[in-house]
Structure 1
Amino acid sequence: MLNLNRLVEGRDAEGVLEYAREFHGHVCPYLALGIRASLVAMEELGVGRLDYSGSVDESILAIVEVNSCFADGVQVTTGCTLGNNSLIYLDLGKTALTLVKRSTWEGVRVYADAEKLEKYYPPGATELFNKVVRERKGTPEEKTRLWELWEEAAHRILHMPKDEFKVEHVNVPPIEQAPIFESVRCSKCGELVMETRAVYIEGKPYCLSCAGEKFLGVVGRGIVEFKGGD
């Protein structure tokens, strides 16, 4: 991980992409876009990748507005992840990142317009993507060819000029640090559940699933509602 910190510090986008390949599972345009947008935001804000102390203190926050490959590029590059409570997801459906200093709540928002990316795609890549991914109809040979074209596009996007992005300096309303909650044991399944996610029925604690209550989760299309007991 220290090597990754040095790669980010040295703005070695190609090196960061190789780390991201392992994390994400493959290389694609929006993974590269997340890396490039992050590097732009970090340079504008004058911050480095989140280190040990910073991740504990949540000193830098990354706010993403879409749960796509873009978000993984952001997590790898900035060090702000869902698990260390420094990544915040807003279900807005926009390819945008806001990087924020918790100390001052000064931030930089970097937005990427999909229509501006088209010129970075090799001929036939979009049509192949529609067949293989959108329609799920591609042959094994077409899938292999798509990944080749997609990787070619990713390396191009990795070096997009800064002026291809919409870059804004913003002030972000303060966001609380992650609190620590006690756990209680569900009276039905016997599993521990965060106290704030438990409901009480006749004085006994139950997890939302066992209680048949509604709760939220993130799937491919964003935040959706689930119901316990289904």
Structure 2
Amino acid sequence: MLKLNELVAKREAEGILEYAKEFHGHICPYLALGIRASLIAMDELGVGRLDYSGSVDESILAIVETNSCFTDGVQVTTGCTLGNNSLIYIDIGKTALTLVKRGSWEGVRVYADAEKLRELYPSRATELFNKVVKERKGTLEERKELWKYWEETARKFLHLPKDYFKIERVKVPPIEQAPIFDSIRCSKCGELVMAPKIVYVNEKPYCKTCAGEEILAVVGRGIISWRCSE
């Protein structure tokens, strides 16, 4: 198999999907949609995949508006991930990617409309999705049948014409490179914490958990207030 950077450079969507399957855990339509939207954005912007080895473009930033399967397709294709601080998640709930050049801050936003895509789903696939995924029901055989339809639909999504998407040029406000912070030890649990996350109580440093402060977390529905324990 070709290396992922080579597959992206050659726009080999099927090969990218195989890498994305390993990353995401299975093949599904919105994983493929994230790949297709990424390739469109990269073509429009004239950039390659992010690669800190210096062999490919390392000056891009991806902004996603959903935390669905779509985002994993974006991460695999663009190389912009949460861990390398080149992926920004904004909690809007739209199936959209904005790919941006650092420095000029010029970008391309690619939005996919779920209603336009419904015509591509077999009716049986929709029925199975509602039962297996939405209702958390369904037999093992029904789950297997759904994954079969899902993979067939995903391969269609890999090659969607551009007119299925809303594509627009955008200008993004400058976003700082990820700063490096010192760590401070919590006075209660003794664990090290990134300095700007520390809370001071009576001039002593505490992590947010020990201080009983609100903690934000990304879960299936988006960003929520999180409790570490009941």
1:212-227 map, 5 Å? 212-227=212-227
1:203 and 2:203 are equivalent in the alignment: yes
Query: Which residue in the other structure is 1:101 paired with?
Result: 101
Cα shift at 1:2: 7.4
Cα shift at 1:46: 0.1
Query: Which residue in the other structure is 1:176 paired with?
Result: 176
**Contact 2:107 2:170 (8 Å CA) reproduced:** yes
**Contact 1:70 1:95 (8 Å CA) reproduced:** yes
AA aligned opposite 1:91: D
Query: Which residue in the other structure is 2:116 paired with?
Result: 116
Query: Which residue in the other structure is 2:152 paired with?
Result: 152
Unaligned runs of 5+ in 1: none
Q: Which moved more, 1:73-82 or 1:162-171?
A: 162-171
CA separation of 1:229 and 1:172: change in aligned 2, threshold 3 A: same
CA separation of 1:54 and 1:197: change in aligned 2, threshold 3 A: farther
Query: Which residue in the other structure is 1:18 paired with?
Result: 18
Cα shift at 1:228: 5.2
> Once the two structures are superposed, what CA deviation does each residue of 1:68-119 show, in whole Å capped at 9, x if it has no partner?
0000000000000000000000000000000000120000000000011112
Q: Which moved more, 1:114-123 or 1:26-35?
A: 114-123
Query: Which residue in the other structure is 1:42 paired with?
Result: 42
Query: Which residue in the other structure is 2:81 paired with?
Result: 81
Partner of 2:123: helix, strand, or coil? Answer: coil
Partner of 1:26: helix, strand, or coil? Answer: coil
**Contact 2:51 2:58 (8 Å CA) reproduced:** no
CA separation of 1:137 and 1:175: change in aligned 2, threshold 3 A: same
In 1, the alpha carbon distance for the partners of 2:177 and 2:2 equals: 25
In 2, the alpha carbon distance for the partners of 1:164 and 1:184 equals: 49
> Once the two structures are superposed, what CA deviation does each residue of 1:48-75 show, in whole Å capped at 9, x if it has no partner?
00011569x9620000000000000000
Cα shift at 1:176: 1.1
In 2, the alpha carbon distance for the partners of 1:101 and 1:191 equals: 37
> Once the two structures are superposed, what CA deviation does each residue of 1:119-172 show, in whole Å capped at 9, x if it has no partner?
221231011100000001111110010000001100011110011100001111
In 1, the alpha carbon distance for the partners of 2:26 and 2:121 equals: 17
Identity %: 75
In 1, the alpha carbon distance for the partners of 2:228 and 2:129 equals: 36
In 2, the alpha carbon distance for the partners of 1:59 and 1:117 equals: 32
AA aligned opposite 2:166: K
**Contact 2:199 2:206 (8 Å CA) reproduced:** yes
Cα shift at 1:18: 0.1
**Contact 2:52 2:58 (8 Å CA) reproduced:** no
The TM-score, its normalising length taken from structure 2, stands at 0.96
The TM-score, its normalising length taken from structure 1, stands at 0.96
CA separation of 1:215 and 1:54: change in aligned 2, threshold 3 A: farther
In 1, the alpha carbon distance for the partners of 2:46 and 2:27 equals: 27
**Contact 1:108 1:169 (8 Å CA) reproduced:** yes
RMSD of aligned residue pairs (Cα, Å)? 1.7
**Contact 1:54 1:60 (8 Å CA) reproduced:** no
Give aligned pairs, total. Answer: 229
CA separation of 1:141 and 1:229: change in aligned 2, threshold 3 A: closer
